[in-house]
Amino acid sequence: MEQTWRWWGPNDIITLSHVCQVGATGIVTALHDIPTGELWSSDAVAERKRAIESDRRLGLRWSVVESLPIHERIKLGEGNPSELLDTYRQSMRNLAMHGVTTICYNFMPVLDWARTQLRAPLPGGGNALRFNAHEFAAFDCYMLRRDGADIDYNADVLDHAKSWFAKATEDDKRRLLGAIMAGLPGAFDRYDIEGLRTMLARYRGIDRFRLRENLACFLREIIPTAEEVGIRMAIHPDDPPRPLLGLPRICSNAEDIAFILDAVPSPSNGLTFCTGSLGASYANDLPAMARRFAPNIHFAHLRNVAKQADGSFMEADHLGGDNDMVGVVKALLSEQKRRRDAGEANWRIPFRPDHGRELLDDVGKPTHPGYPAIGRMRGLAEIRGVMTALAAEHGFPI
């Protein structure tokens, strides 16, 4: 599998030279400075590609876009989206023109992902991302004060939430709001409580069936262009895979994924297989899902989580946690072999080590939450070891 690394662009304190040192060859990035809904011009794409690939000694290429974001109006089905869709299609063409042909995207409303702690302390030092169900419930019920929020949580979680909120300082509340707002997409916009209430109000009346149809409409509009220019679209699962803040989630399990792939059957309509997102649900059998959807997996995020019965979870070591990482990697390597044996030109599946823990010298550095250098380097090394062992045992190409 192609070993890739998420890079946040020229302002990332983890440089392209650092990426070369850890052994990755593919770069996963986006034009984060361009607001959602605006055009990614050919010149802007070319400039980013040159930044990544001009120093040939590093051996890097722009492998995957993560992500080309979808405007909230398209998710809402609000008004006439023709201009937004035209812009999206032209951005796709401009990427393909410069040889960037895998696009990871998501259809999560309002929040791309949700955590309640961005730096939860670990034994012996270091930090990790964490989702505490009671803290999220406290935010939803007592800070946001969303109507009907209490029916979304069980009695134990609500009791714990009430206790947390009664003891919380103003700093605790600001920290929690900041952690939840860190999951917002786009050019790092943030909402205050009132702004978030206003955004949620726009989704009143949008249930999972309406949101599903809005996604299907989007796919019907853009997949023909993807086929025309050789783009592979790869939807990212919901993180976590459950409704949040009264918002529906529609890419959380095997049934959801099957609906999305069947909505517009095409080799260009595919999946980003994220073991951390899907693995935050006890109901998801990750190796079975990887085998079932293997032909449509265009990109993989490999990370692990340790789950709790109340819905809480914490980012674990890549080979720790609850998810069968070896089984998933075996399924992906098997699919690679099938593609190579079938004569497919782009048979390698790009993957990246996702959401490393803050370890050693990375503690306290201003990296993006979940994206320190050393924790991800550890994860990449561990997954590389699994790949090498499976390849030796089964004859898989890597």
CA dist., res. 304 & res. 307, Å (int): 10
**Catalytic residue flag (residue 301):** yes
Q: Which among 236, 238, 298, 324 is annotated as catalytic?
A: 236
Whole-number CA gyration radius for the chain: 20
**Catalytic residue flag (residue 98):** no
Q: CB-hemisphere CA count at 13 Å for 344?
A: 13
Average pLDDT over residues 373-391: 98
How confident is the model at residue 6, as a pLDDT?
98
Over 90: is that where the pLDDT of 287 sits? yes
**Catalytic residue flag (residue 189):** no
Which long-range contacts does 122-125 make (Cβ < 8 Å, 24+ apart)?
A: 122/357, 125/359, 125/363
Helix (H, G, I), strand (E, B) or coil at 247: strand
**Catalytic residue flag (residue 371):** yes
Over 80: is that where the pLDDT of 184 sits? no
- Strands laid side by side in the 304-307 sheet: 117-121, 127-131, 313-316, 304-307
Cα dihedral 329, 30, 240, 307 in deg (nearest 10): 50
Alpha helix ranges (H) inside the chain: 16-22, 42-53, 72-76, 82-97, 133-138, 155-167, 170-181, 193-201, 208-229, 254-263, 275-278, 286-292, 325-341, 373-394
What CATH number has the domain spanning 2-113+202-394? 3.20.20.150
Q: Which of 345, 335, 352, 343 is nearest to 397 (CA)?
A: 335
Cβ(309)–Cβ(320) under 8 Å? no
Give the pair of three-digit tokens for residue 176.
């929690």
CA dist., res. 97 & res. 130, Å (int): 39
Q: Which among 256, 324, 354, 362 is annotated as catalytic?
A: 354
Average pLDDT over residues 148-171: 97
Average model confidence (pLDDT) for the chain?
96
How confident is the model at residue 185, as a pLDDT?
59
pLDDT > 70: what percent of the chain? 98
CA dist., res. 275 & res. 326, Å (int): 11
Average pLDDT over residues 185-193: 65
Q: In the block, which residue shows the tokens 């265009």?
A: 298
Q: Which among 71, 274, 324, 362 is annotated as catalytic?
A: 274
Over 50: is that where the pLDDT of 187 sits? no
**Catalytic residue flag (residue 18):** no
End-to-end Cα distance, the chain = 5
Q: In the block, which residue shows the tokens 């250098």?
A: 373
Helix (H, G, I), strand (E, B) or coil at 298: strand
Q: Give the Å distances, CA to CA, from 152 to 130, 158, 200.
A: 20, 9, 16
Q: Which among 88, 105, 355, 362 is annotated as catalytic?
A: 355
Over 70: is that where the pLDDT of 259 sits? yes
Beta strands 2-6 and 26-29: pairing type?
A: parallel
**288-340: per-residue pLDDT in tens?**
999 999 999 999 999 999 999 999 999 999 999 999 999 999 999 999 999 99
**194-219: per-residue pLDDT in tens?**
999 999 999 999 999 999 999 999 99
Going by the DSSP 8-state scheme, the letter that residue 362 receives in this structure is: G
DSSP letter for each residue of 91-147: HHHHHHHTT--EEEE---SS-SB--SEEEEE-TTS-EEEEE-HHHHHHIIIIIS--T
Residue ranges of the domains in the chain?
Answer: 2-113+202-394, 117-183
Q: Which among 88, 153, 203, 371 is annotated as catalytic?
A: 371
Helix (H, G, I), strand (E, B) or coil at 308: coil
**Catalytic residue flag (residue 354):** yes
Q: Which of 180, 187, 179 is nearest to 71 (CA)?
A: 187
CA dist., res. 355 & res. 75, Å (int): 26
CA dist., res. 196 & res. 190, Å (int): 9
Q: Which among 301, 318, 324, 362 is annotated as catalytic?
A: 301
How confident is the model at residue 189, as a pLDDT?
59
Q: Which of 146, 275, 264 is nearest to 198 (CA)?
A: 146
